[in-house]
Amino acid sequence: MKGKTEENVLVKPYVIPSRTWRHYLPGPILFLHLFAFILSLNTAGLYVPQYISKTLFPQRPLPSSTGSICTVNDTVASPDTETIQKEAAVFNVYVALASGIPAVVTSLFLGAFSDRFGRVFLFLTPTIGQLISKTILLFCIYYRIDINFILIGSAIEGLTGGFLAILMASFSYFADITENNKERSTAIAFLEIAVGVGLVVGRFSTGYIINATDYVWPHVTACSIYTAITVIILFLLPETRAPSKTLEPLARLSCLHYVKTIFSFYVSKSTDRWKYNVCILIFFTTGVTTVGKSGVDLLYQISQPFCWDSVKVGWYGALAGLFQNVICMGMIKVLHLCFNDEGVSILGSISGIAGFILTAFATTDVMLYIAAIVGGGAILTLPMVRAMMSRITSPEKQGALFGGISSIETACSIVGNLIFNPIYSHTVTIFRGSVYLVMAGNVLVSLILLLVLTVLSRSKPTTYKLNGLVEVEQD
């Protein structure tokens, strides 16, 4: 087979390190990270509309409960409420651009650099960025500084890789310590469950912490958690790829070399190039909706006809996250008894389409909860695509692969915010659910691509890389 001899010469066999309990720390780290991040994100998402309301309409009466922007006793959105929603949606775009644009570039290099300098480096950089960002946000809220200063923290967060970089670090880390088969899919699902539990606890806690205190203490908590994560990374997390001590030519240490490594998956003459390209398109079209819609969800829930306060927002987010990120993720092992990764992804896309359509036409709290359950399977597509791409990638390029994927996921956040927030802003006075119909159409594109991938996989044998050798794919 072409390329086999060359790979044997250039690549030393990769030996999976023996595992101890410390090698499973990426799971708790992800949980703590998502808990702190969601705690901060939801608090800021509720604080910004309140800040805009008090700035533009200081005499506007708001409910005593924190979070809702509906005026007391109003069942229909007033012009003031619609203005606040539009301003908040625009600010969400600014935040996405400030953090997302630098994060896209940074993520390209962090993952590939970790293949040479180690995975601990990959965990530490974005964690410190998050700590700085949340500290700035804390000062903005505590001293009631203009919310535009929040953008400074967002930019620092992006320059250090963004919130998805820790997810990328965890995937790369587990790729180092798992066999190149369905064990890796299960390991990735385990990490997604850790993400899900973090989301659930973060969403559930936010409303109660805000109601019991104010908008300040959630960010004090977030800063404390990121400090603890930094300590865990520095003193407990074992390295799985020891930093290279060999001197390499300057060309191989240059940024261009690492960029070339990342893009080589999609432009090389490898027999698996078609699968890389189809998979990354599926990942993008799905990720735009799952990553880029959080700001719209909050605005949708705290205005008419729902008028949820922070506690109701927290309960909904927690229960939806519990079903989507924990229960559905936990079912992957069971689904693998009947379906391969492509089949699980197809089921997820069908679920997502149905869920978004129901959300678009929801008029009561119960309808929103039903939509969350029906659409819960949409979350399955992303980990399955990650697993499919990881299985056809050699061990020494896992960091580069997940670095590129993280960069795409960050781009999904930017594109999602750029698409969905303006759509919501311009259609809120016509049909508030329009934006969710657009999301359903987006997932439909993912479904079509998945069907294409399934057909092509049957006609073109797929290979995976193990210890530098090209092998036939095994389940």
pLDDT band, residue 153 (cuts 50/70/90):
very high
* Helical axes 434-459 vs 341-360, angle rounded to 10°: 170
* R_g over Cα of the chain: 22
Identify whether the C-beta of residue 197 lies closer than 8 Å to the C-beta of residue 325: yes
pLDDT of residue 361: 95
pLDDT value at residue 184: 74
Q: Please say whether the beta carbons of 259 and 108 come within 8 A.
A: yes
pLDDT per position as a tens digit, 285-297: 999 998 888 889 9
Q: Does the N-terminal peptide bond of residue 218 adopt cis geometry, omega within 30 degrees of 0?
A: no
Residue 132 is encoded by which pair of tokens?
Answer: 């700085």
Per-residue pLDDT band for 463 (boundaries 50, 70, 90) equals low
Confidence of residue 77 (pLDDT cuts 50, 70, 90): low
- Pick the closest to residue 38 from 187, 173, 222 (CA basis): 222
| pLDDT average, residue stretch 352-367 | 95
CA distance 164 to 118: 18
Closest of 412, 107, 406, 453 to residue 272, by C-alpha: 453
Cis bond upstream, residue 305 (ω within 30):
yes
How far are the Cα atoms of 79, 93, 267, 282, 426 from residue 429, in angstroms, in the given order?
Answer: 9, 19, 45, 32, 7
Among 106, 152, 141, 114, residue whose Cα is nearest residue 221 = 141
**How crowded is residue 178: how many other Cβ atoms within 10 Å of its Cβ?**
19
Return the residue matching tokens 């506007």.
60
DSSP string, 84-147: HHHHHHHHHHHHHHHHHHHHHHHHHHHHHHHHHH-HHHHHHHHHHHHHHHHHHHHHHHHTT--G
pLDDT > 70 in the chain, percent: 85
The reported pLDDT for the residue numbered 258 is 66
127-136, 150-159, 458-467: the lowest-pLDDT one: 458-467
Distance CA(300)–CA(320), nearest Å, equals 15
Q: Collapsing DSSP states into helix, strand and coil, what is residue 431?
A: coil
| Neighbouring C-alpha atoms within 13 Å toward the C-beta of 240 | 33
Q: Which token pair is 368?
A: 């929103």
Q: Which two tokens stand for residue 326?
A: 């924990």
Q: Is the pLDDT of residue 69 over 90?
A: no
- Of the two residues 83 and 252, the one the predictor is more confident about is 83
pLDDT at 15: 65
Q: What is the pLDDT of residues 372-415, one digit of tens each?
A: 999 988 888 988 898 889 888 887 787 778 878 877 888 888 88
Contact between residue 107 and residue 79 where contact means Cβ atoms under 8 Å apart: no
**Between 336 and 297, whose confidence is greater?**
297
How high is the pLDDT of residue 126? Answer: 94
- Residue 256's pLDDT is 67
Instruction: Quote the pLDDT of residue 14.
Output: 57
Q: What value does the mean pLDDT take over residues 245-261?
A: 58
Question: Identity (one letter) of the amino acid at 364?
Answer: T
Average pLDDT over residues 122-127: 93
Q: What's the confidence (pLDDT) of residue 23?
A: 87
Cβ–Cβ under 8 Å, residues 174 and 142? no
What DSSP element (H or E) covers 469?
strand 469-472
Distance CA 302, CA 50 (A): 11
Architecture per CATH, 19-243+252-472: Up-down Bundle (1.20)
Burial of 271 (0-12, 13-18, 19+ CB in 10 A): middle
Strands 463-466 and 469-472: antiparallel
What average pLDDT does the structure give for the chain?
83
**Model confidence at 469: pLDDT above 50:** no
pLDDT at residue 472 is higher than 50: no
Evaluate whether 51 touches 141 at the Cβ level (below 8 Å): no
- Of the pLDDT bands very low, low, confident and very high (cuts 50, 70, 90), residue 470 is very low
Per-residue model confidence (pLDDT) at position 419: 92
CA atoms of 169 and 321, how far apart (whole Å): 22
Confidence of residue 1 (pLDDT cuts 50, 70, 90): very low
DSSP line for 130-149: HHHHHHHHHHHHHTT--GGG
Provide the pLDDT confidence category of residue 369 given band limits of 50, 70 and 90: very high
The percentage of the chain sitting over the pLDDT mark of 90, rounded to a whole number, equals 37
In this structure, of 17-31, 174-188, 316-330, 438-452, the range with the lowest mean pLDDT score is 174-188
Residue 10 has pLDDT above 50, yes or no: no
Using pLDDT thresholds of 50, 70 and 90, give the confidence band for residue 85: confident
Chain centroid, CA 351 distance in Å:
19
> Closest Cα partner for 390 from 376, 377, 404?
404
Q: What is the pLDDT of residue 284?
A: 94
Structural domain spans, the chain? 19-243+252-472
pLDDT at 422 over 70: yes
pLDDT at 139 over 70: yes
- Confidence band of 461 (pLDDT split at 50, 70, 90): low
3-class secondary structure, 46? helix
Choice between 112 and 47, residue whose per-residue pLDDT is larger: 47
